[in-house]
Chain A
Amino acid sequence: MARKIFLYGLVMITLLSCLDDADCTVEGTTVVNIAFIKKSLLEADTLEFVNITLEGSDSIFYEKDTTESISLPINTHQTQMPITMNLEDGSSFHLTLQYGVVPRLISEDCGLEFRIEGLTIASHDFDSVALVDPSLEDEITTNVELYR
């Protein structure tokens, strides 16, 4: 009987070998979602941007755009990211995010992901700021609310 099971096991193990397929599921995101709120009315605040710049990047974000919320990529090369928001009315606001970056290999085929942990507000010049959700787990949830 044991010999039969030994042979049976050989077949089963061959079948099971396909269970090691790569799974490209990511556990988080490297995008921070920021919403603007009118402090006096506690309602959405629509801002007209000239542009938004991120320190360390040559890219321009939200150029000539009007919106009440923004989504920005986190700089995974650093643990701090100063953001400058230039508005159509000539004013500009600054916000610096601080966080930890922990890399994780998903698989050889899927590559790396970066887990952003412990998001905090290092500095800002808005009227007030609320850290709504410091965990960057999806690309929908608002992480930071900026009041002015």
Chain B
Amino acid sequence: MNCDEAIDLIVDSLMDGVHEAQRLALEEHLESCASCAAEARAMHWSWDAMARMEEPVSHVDDPSVSAVVEAVDPVAAGARSAARVEGRNTRVATAAFYRRSGWLRTAAAVVFFLAGGLAGFIMRGDRSAASAPDGPTFLLLVRGTEPDATMPVETLVQEYSAWAGELAAEGRLVAAEKLVDDSGRWISGSSAESRSRSDVSGYFVISAADYAQAEDIARSSPHVRYGGTFEIRRIDPLE
């Protein structure tokens, strides 16, 4: 047995098991080879140490199954009908779960829609208008969840499609992106600044004449209609 084979066998003995004959051959090699014997000790230590690495408990505030199923459920096709019957309490609980845990599914429809259809809208739109709008542009930050949206997610996606499709057709949709549903990262030079969660789940860049028109556009979106929030900022043209 050469040293390479010996190291392979040490790994196998830890991870999968070895036959008796292999075990004896390995032991024989380790008795005659100091470097492999040292490596065997190091690998055994590593293997034991891996088991001693702690696994922190879940950060989820309330991992109860019912809350989780409620939170997951809007994603299921058509599964909301039951919740509608159960009424407002369920919806409030669901929305509270979203806010409390910040888990995922903030603006589930935005997720679906932006992941699938939006690129197409922008591509299909008037290219010159889309890439270089003449007038002022505004950033619409998609904030918060849509606590009042209790219809099947397909319906919500259709509403988003209609809304953004109209913007694209008018040449107002400059860009849009969905952000990954994680907590992101916060970098700050000041130690006083400490946050762990963002409620921004995506953004749209639109062209509009002024804030008033941008507000009207935002207000006509399903996100706002169902209780979500847009932060609207005018983009500085830097001219």
The reply to whether chain A is a binding partner of chain B is no
